[in-house]
């Protein structure tokens, strides 16, 4: 299923297009001291490798701005300078060659200073993200609305847009982040109705795993599924590489970015399982992730429903009666002893990557499908048909016959 995306203005952060129908991009932020250019570059490369399209660094001192000047020519991705309180540091970051700025309207409130930065960004040809945050909202707006409610966040953003308009600066993207998921979602919905600038999505201060991940997915995915959002960041209290991996994974699972990573499917296990699904799935997942293959792989606990339920997987394994049944796109291609099934799965994944799906289907063991069907029927005889297929078929036929009469 595809979702109609909200059409926004397009801008560029370095060589990354944002908005205007461009692919939704993934962002993260370094945790290093920006003045330590080598440490910061090391983390930037790790973030880029994990799926980040854009990386933000803090610019809170003159030394940090100097660090940006060293970082920019060597960075594999565009760099955004995060500015708080000191507008002159925004000017310094522009001088250092940064790809974009992020300004917080809650702590740079002087209209003249804001316009000065916007004018400098316009001359440099770089965009600015208006980064409204519920935790640092302007006191006047807090007093007006009685708290950081969605209307207050949106008004803060649009007030900043008005300042930019005065100097003819329109290379803008906006975020209205909140740590409360329903508040965050409603803020972005209101903002989407108020402007056509591209939107940067995020649940701020989401916290450590697993709660932070749940909050981030709940907010970001809800909006993406409504067509809202042009770039995203998971704000997790963990290694920022996890933010990039999570963001990239979410976009791939939603079909908003082409798959570049492993999509691992596994059944939750049940009393019908013939093996320890949790153990086998864990081992297979770890080994496949090390290979870095961009494919969908399934591990199922039994042969009764396994191949059918995961028939769209590029590769799968279904366990049954001491054997492992390897299947490609739902077609059983090989049956191996249980002790060898994870090794066989890994080997087949490598072969699919090297030779392609059609070649591996052509190389299938001609007796595999027959062996798989025998195992399935044997398991049904022992455990019974949990889906009661024959009973239900008989009942349906009886109803049809009665109506004919």
Q: For residue range 39-90, list pLDDT tens digits in order.
A: 999 999 999 999 999 999 999 999 999 999 999 999 999 999 999 999 999 9
Terminal Cα-to-Cα distance of the chain (whole angstroms): 42
The answer to whether residues 36 and 149 belong to one domain is yes
pLDDT at 300: 87
Domain boundary, last residue among 211, 235, 253? 253
Residues 348, 291 share a domain: yes
**What pLDDT, in 10s, does the model give residues 266-320?**
888 777 666 788 899 999 999 999 999 999 999 988 766 666 667 889 999 988 7
Q: Is there a single domain that holds both residue 191 and residue 236?
A: yes
- Could you tell me if 206 and 278 lie in one domain? no
List CB contacts of 343: < 8 A, sequence separation 6 or more.
none
Round to whole Å and give the CA distance between 77 and 101: 15
Domain boundary among the residues 253, 283, 317 is at 253
Contacts of 147 (CB under 8 A, 6+ apart): none
Residue 393 belongs to a domain: no
Integer Cα distance of 158 and 105 in angstroms: 10
Q: Does 271 lie in the same domain as 215?
A: no
Q: Strand ranges (DSSP E) for 68-214?
A: 79-83, 100-103, 128-133, 172-177, 200-201
Looking up residue 42, the CATH number of its domain turns out to be 3.20.20.20
Tell me the two tokens of residue 23.
């692919």
Same domain, 81 and 51: yes
pLDDT (0 to 100) of residue 394: 81
* pLDDT score for 388: 59
Domain boundary among the residues 231, 253, 275 is at 253
Asked whether residue 2 is domain-assigned, the answer is no
Q: Which residues of the chain have pLDDT under 50?
A: none
Angle value at C-alpha 83, between 180 and 112, nearest 5 degrees = 105
Are 127 and 192 within one domain? yes
pLDDT at 382: 55
pLDDT of residue 319: 81
Domain that holds residue 352: 263-383
323: in domain: yes
Q: Same domain, yes or no, for 51 and 166?
A: yes
Largest CA distance in the chain: 90
pLDDT of residue 378: 62
The verdict on residue 388 lying in a domain is: no
* pLDDT of res. 76: 98
Q: Is residue 402 part of a domain?
A: no
Q: Are residues 245 and 358 in the same domain?
A: no
Domain match, 232 and 281 both: no
Looking at the structure of the chain, the number of domains it has is 2
User: What CATH number is given to the structural domain containing 274?
Assistant: 3.30.413.10
29 domain residue, yes or no: yes
H or E stretch at 67: helix 62-71
- What pLDDT score was predicted for residue 302? 75
197 and 330 fall within a common domain:
no
pLDDT at 156: 97
pTM (two decimals): 0.87
Query: Is the residue at 206 inside a domain?
Result: yes
Whether 205 and 281 map to the same domain: the answer is no
Residue (of 55, 18, 8, 20) closest to 191 by Cα position:
8
In-domain check, residue 3: no
């Amino acid at each position: 299923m595809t979702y109609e995306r909200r059409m926004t203005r397009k801008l560029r952060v370095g060589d990354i297009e944002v908005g205007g129908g461009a692919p939704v991009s993934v962002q993260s932020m370094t945790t290093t001291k920006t003045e330590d250019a080598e440490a910061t570059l090391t983390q930037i490369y790790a973030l880029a490798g994990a799926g980040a399209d854009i990386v933000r660094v803090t610019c809170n001192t003159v030394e940090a701005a100097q660090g940006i000047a060293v970082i920019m020519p060597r960075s594999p991705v565009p760099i955004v300078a995060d500015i708080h309180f000191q507008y002159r540091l925004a000017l310094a970051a522009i001088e250092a060659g940064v790809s974009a700025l992020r300004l917080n309207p809650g702590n740079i409130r002087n209209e003249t200073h804001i316009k000065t930065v916007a004018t400098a960004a316009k001359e440099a040809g770089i965009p600015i993200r208006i980064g409204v945050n519920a935790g640092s909202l302007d006191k006047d707006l807090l007093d007006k609305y009685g708290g950081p409610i969605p209307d207050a966040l949106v008004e803060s953003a649009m007030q900043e847009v008005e300042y930019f308009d005065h100097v003819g600066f329109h290379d803008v993207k906006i975020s209205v982040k909140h740590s409360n998921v329903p508040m965050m979602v409603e803020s972005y919905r209101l903002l989407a109705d108020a402007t056509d600038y591209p939107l940067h999505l995020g649940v701020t201060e989401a916290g450590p795993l697993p709660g932070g991940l749940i909050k981030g997915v709940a907010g970001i995915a809800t909006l993406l599924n409504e067509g809202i959002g042009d770039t995203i960041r998971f704000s997790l209290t963990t290694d920022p590489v996890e933010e990039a991996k999570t963001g990239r994974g979410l976009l791939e699972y939603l079909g908003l970015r082409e798959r570049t990573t492993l999509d691992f499917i596994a059944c939750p296990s049940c009393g019908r399982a013939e093996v320890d699904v949790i153990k086998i799935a864990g081992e297979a997942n770890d080994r496949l992730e090390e290979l870095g293959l961009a494919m969908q792989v399934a591990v199922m606990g039994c042969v009764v429903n396994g191949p059918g339920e995961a028939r769209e997987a590029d590769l799968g394994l279904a366990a049954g009666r001491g054997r492992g049944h390897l299947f490609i796109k739902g077609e059983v291609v090989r049956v191996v002893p249980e002790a060898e099934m994870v090794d066989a799965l890994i080997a087949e994944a490598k072969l699919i990557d090297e030779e392609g799906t059609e070649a591996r289907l052509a190389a299938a063991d001609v007796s595999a499908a027959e062996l798989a069907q025998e195992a399935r029927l044997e398991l049904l005889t022992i455990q019974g048909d949990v889906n009661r297929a024959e009973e239900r078929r008989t009942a349906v036929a009886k109803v049809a016959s009665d109506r004919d009469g």
